[in-house]
Structure 1
Amino acid sequence: MNTPSEDYHALLARHDAMRLRRRILAPADTRTDRWTAEAPRAYDGTADQLLISDALPLVAPMEELIADLYRVLFERHPYLRALFPESMAFQQDHLASIFHYLIGNLHHTDELIRVFGQLGRDHRKLGVRPAQFGAFEEALIEALRLRAGIRWTGALEDAWLRMLHLAVSAMVRGADEAIAEPPSWEATVTSHELRAPGLAVLRVRPHQPYTFAAGQYASLESPLLEQAWRPYYLARAPHPDGELEFHVRARGAGGVSDALVHGTRTGGTVRLGAPRGALALPDHLLSADLLLIASGTGWAPMKALLQRIDADRSGVHRVRLLLGHGGPGRAGEEMYDAAGLEAFRRNRPWLTVVTADAGGARFEDTGARSPARQHAFVALSPEAAGTTGAGPEQEVVARLAAAGIPQTHLHLDTAGRGTVTGRSASTTRTGLLSA
């Protein structure tokens, strides 16, 4: 028997299929699909940015504004509560981050359109429909009015609405452009292996074809925590058998990672979002000098990239893999996939493996003869810690730059960091309406 969530997503899939069929069959000048979005229009948001920023104390703190927003939303539209995970704390924190990001970047509206277009594509897996953004807008305005009281003005309301319309129209447009793509993929767990305490290697087989590139990541949902998603790197290059591999470390917080490590068994199911990420290897770099830097479960995308490189025999590869441990307290831990790495390294003279502390490695000593020509790919475990107070990726980027590698040759994304940035707009449980 299907769960209500499974029935809902099956209904959405049929609805999107009918929309796509109507779009294909209808002449271009007569298509009247109610939810076909017009292209979002960028505008000079500097004035709105200043107005909203100056008046933020009227509705602060942001966390209480968000709490009021969801209270109003669920009181007016109780059915929307099912689109969210049971605990709202994570979602509320991320929505607050999104509003700060919107306000802080309203003078770069072209970039906002790109970022929120990606968010719209990713929101399809959550079951969000364009009409539901109207309910969100009404709840936001009501929450703003309640918090500001008599100090609320029509000019402020118009500025917030323009900002919201920019983001929402980009999301609706992004979702509309991805209508031919499944909103999500059901997959069967074909293997679940504990490699270390709290760390599992999962193999899954999607029920439909799943096209991705080595180095990308996918968001996963466990049936134990419906509507809660977390991104994980794909640890295997595309293979004819269609199986995908993920490396998951439990965090002890009762979230998606814990459910996948401790509550998932062979024969179970998971749901996948569309592949995303900035670590895919372009064809023109297959014969370039490469530096791969990973720690902890950041080894997963590097494993996929090495398989991709190995499958291409057209170039002469010089690849160095700098492999660190998974974070504080793990310096003495053996790499959880050491046997697989050692087997791969044999008879591949183009690969050099350097084992180092992820926070203290000297990148200038990795043996690179010409840093200016190298391309570096970086994926650090979420548990890795920087030594300067900066984020671990930022610290690595600074050290690579100091070693002579140009900024344009650095490849990384922030999968799993839980923030909305220009580099990663598809992080887990992030969005204007749903988690």
Structure 2
Amino acid sequence: MRLRQRILGQGRAPVPDLAATSYDGAADQRLITQYLDLVTPFGDLIAHLYDELFTRWPYLRSLFPASMDFQRAHLARAFWYLIENLHRPAEVAAYFRQLGHDHRKLGVRPVHYEAFESALVAALRRTAGPRWAEVVEQAWVRMLRFAVASMVEGADAAIAEPPCWPGTVTAHERRRPDLAVLRVRVHEPYTYRAGQYAAVESPLMPQAWRHYSFASAPRPDGEVEFHIRRTGPDGVSEALVNRTRVGDVLRLGPAHGTMTLKEEDHPRDLLMVAGGTGWAPVRALLEEWASRRSTGGLPLRPPGRVHLFVGARNRTELYAAETLSQLAARHSRLQVVRVLDDDLATPADSPMGEYGPLAEAVARDGQWSGHVAFVSGPAGMVGATVARLVAGGMLADRIRHDPVPDLMTSSAGHPEAHPADEVVAGAAR
């Protein structure tokens, strides 16, 4: 604690109280925004920051992946999130507490934040040039220290749990040339819920973590399943799809996500929408839905119906076709609609079902205002589907999905703020 206080309290701009209830984030937001044109786009600022950091503290380079492209984009996104939400300090504090909890797996320690602050100040001055003002620099430092205080708090709160969990690959099945299903047996007890996701690291790409959804509900044997689509060359998804073998040991970060079933959902009708490998968390949710038979030995009311939409560009990419047919045959309360984007030759009465853009198919198929919705897949599809559901009368608090970059912040005009390979749960990030 003394180290934390020393790090957060020293330097150019004294911060007597970093609590969300007392920090005047709105005032700092106004100052930072007034001079934002001097340091945006953030590409030069971040390049100067890492140059300074690794020149002065070379040992810190080992905390980062070999390729810094994703890391730079991630930091740009974090800056935009901070600046655009600083007038809501409680929300920002919660976001960075979670980030601090997650950063434990990277080996980040409180003292590293001090080095980062010094590098950021040097980078701000170098990027902004002669028009830079000391008062704006102090606002940036206060903003950073507020975020750091929350990150340290999040890391402290998780001190009793491992920073990450090793797991051995027990199966690796290629469902398409660009898609693999991995099953991993975690070495230690690992807690997660159907519908959640976790960061995964391959030994082939040290310190390069990407998020993938669990494709199965928790199992007694501790085995988890991921559906991973290769999104490009030389990345984490390529390593997991093309170069991972049975017996390899991966590392998993803690589970996250609120796209989960609640007890009160059991008797309700559910709408589930999955695009591409967004099918993975929906499959896990269906497993849990089908297994809910009793609570405390007492039978539950019959479960509500599930209306499931699964989308793909064509039949070849509908890799879960056989599983969908089996589920529909096994559960009379489950209705499955397959949506193909471009297979226009498929007759309307074909067993393959309806085709067309997934969000449009969901919107025109029925009235969903009384349902609870779960939406998973590429960010664009999720955003479009959520917008159609809300426009159709569904309450926003009845729609569950993982964070969508364009919805989480208002920085749609800042392409660097969203890594190109980042999508919603289920597909490779």
Q: What band does the TM-score fall into relative to the shorter chain?
A: 0.7 to 0.9
Task: Give the secondary structure class of the aligned counterpart of 2:335.
Answer: strand
Q: 2-side partners of 1:263 and 1:221: how far apart?
A: 13
- Displacement, 1:403? 2.7
Q: 2-side partners of 1:45 and 1:164: how far apart?
A: 11
Aligned to 2:370: 373
Amino acid at match of 1:377: F
Structure 2: segments with no counterpart, 5+ residues: 9-16, 294-299, 340-355, 411-418, 423-429
- Contact 1:219 1:230 (C-alpha < 8 Å) held by counterparts: yes
Aligned to 2:425: none
Residue 311, structure 1, aligned to residue 291, structure 2: yes
Q: 2-side partners of 1:418 and 1:217: how far apart?
A: 19
Give the TM-score of the pair, scaled to structure 1.
0.82
- Contact 1:40 1:173 (C-alpha < 8 Å) held by counterparts: no
Match of 1:349 among 322, 332, 335: 332
Match of 1:288 among 254, 268, 273: 268
- Displacement, 1:398? 1.5
- Displacement, 1:364? 4.5
Q: 2-side partners of 1:71 and 1:292: how far apart?
A: 46
Aligned to 1:324: 311
Aligned to 1:162: 142
Aligned to 1:401: 390
Q: 2-side partners of 1:261 and 1:294: how far apart?
A: 21
Task: Give the secondary structure class of the aligned counterpart of 1:66.
Answer: helix
Residue 188, structure 1, aligned to residue 188, structure 2: no
Amino acid at match of 1:235: A
Match of 1:81 among 61, 80, 90: 61
- Displacement, 1:117? 0.8
Q: 2-side partners of 1:77 and 1:418: how far apart?
A: 35
Q: 2-side partners of 1:263 and 1:206: how far apart?
A: 20
Q: Percent identity?
A: 49
Q: 2-side partners of 1:131 and 1:315: how far apart?
A: 54
- Displacement, 1:35? 4.5
- Aligned in 2, Cα 1:312/1:217: closer, same or farther, shift over 3 Å? same
- Aligned in 2, Cα 1:275/1:418: closer, same or farther, shift over 3 Å? farther
Q: 1-side partners of 2:256 and 2:359: how far apart?
A: 29
Aligned to 1:238: 218
Aligned to 1:41: 19
- Contact 1:294 1:381 (C-alpha < 8 Å) held by counterparts: no
Match of 2:318 among 329, 335, 346: 335
- Contact 1:354 1:366 (C-alpha < 8 Å) held by counterparts: no
Total equivalences in the alignment: 379
Q: 2-side partners of 1:105 and 1:176: how far apart?
A: 24
> Which residues of 2 match residues 24-35 of structure 1 at below 5 A?
34-35=3-4
Q: 2-side partners of 1:299 and 1:279: how far apart?
A: 13
Q: 2-side partners of 1:361 and 1:178: how far apart?
A: 42
Q: 2-side partners of 1:261 and 1:359: how far apart?
A: 26
Cα shift readout 1:390-412 (whole Å, capped 9, x = no counterpart): x3222101211233322121111
- Displacement, 1:420? 6.5
> Which residues of 2 match residues 120-159 of structure 1 at below 5 A?
120-159=100-139
- Aligned in 2, Cα 1:360/1:101: closer, same or farther, shift over 3 Å? closer
Aligned to 1:107: 87
Task: Give the secondary structure class of the aligned counterpart of 2:373.
Answer: strand
Q: 2-side partners of 1:79 and 1:420: how far apart?
A: 34
- Aligned in 2, Cα 1:137/1:108: closer, same or farther, shift over 3 Å? same
Amino acid at match of 1:363: V
Aligned to 2:278: 298
Aligned to 2:178: 198
Amino acid at match of 1:285: D
Give the TM-score of the pair, scaled to structure 2.
0.83
Aligned to 1:19: none
- Aligned in 2, Cα 1:419/1:131: closer, same or farther, shift over 3 Å? farther
Task: Give the secondary structure class of the aligned counterpart of 1:241.
Answer: coil
Aligned to 1:411: 400
RMSD value, Cα: 2.3
Task: Give the secondary structure class of the aligned counterpart of 2:168.
Answer: strand
Q: 2-side partners of 1:351 and 1:71: how far apart?
A: 55
- Contact 2:213 2:280 (C-alpha < 8 Å) held by counterparts: yes
Q: 2-side partners of 1:310 and 1:381: how far apart?
A: 26
- Contact 1:363 1:403 (C-alpha < 8 Å) held by counterparts: no
Amino acid at match of 1:220: V
- Contact 2:272 2:282 (C-alpha < 8 Å) held by counterparts: yes
- Displacement, 1:323? 0.9
- Contact 1:98 1:420 (C-alpha < 8 Å) held by counterparts: no
Which portions of structure 1, spanning 4 or more consecutive aligned residues, are displaced by more than 6 angstroms?
Answer: 36-39
Q: 1-side partners of 2:107 and 2:363: how far apart?
A: 47
Amino acid at match of 2:19: R
Amino acid at match of 1:349: S
Q: 2-side partners of 1:310 and 1:33: how far apart?
A: 51
Q: 2-side partners of 1:412 and 1:61: how far apart?
A: 29
Amino acid at match of 1:361: E
- Contact 2:271 2:371 (C-alpha < 8 Å) held by counterparts: yes
- Contact 2:198 2:212 (C-alpha < 8 Å) held by counterparts: yes
Task: Give the secondary structure class of the aligned counterpart of 2:369.
Answer: helix
Q: Which of 142-151 and 88-97 deviates more? A: 142-151
- Displacement, 1:215? 0.3
Aligned to 2:235: 255
Q: 1-side partners of 2:317 and 2:238: how far apart?
A: 21
Aligned to 2:427: none
Amino acid at match of 1:101: Y
Q: 2-side partners of 1:418 and 1:246: how far apart?
A: 25
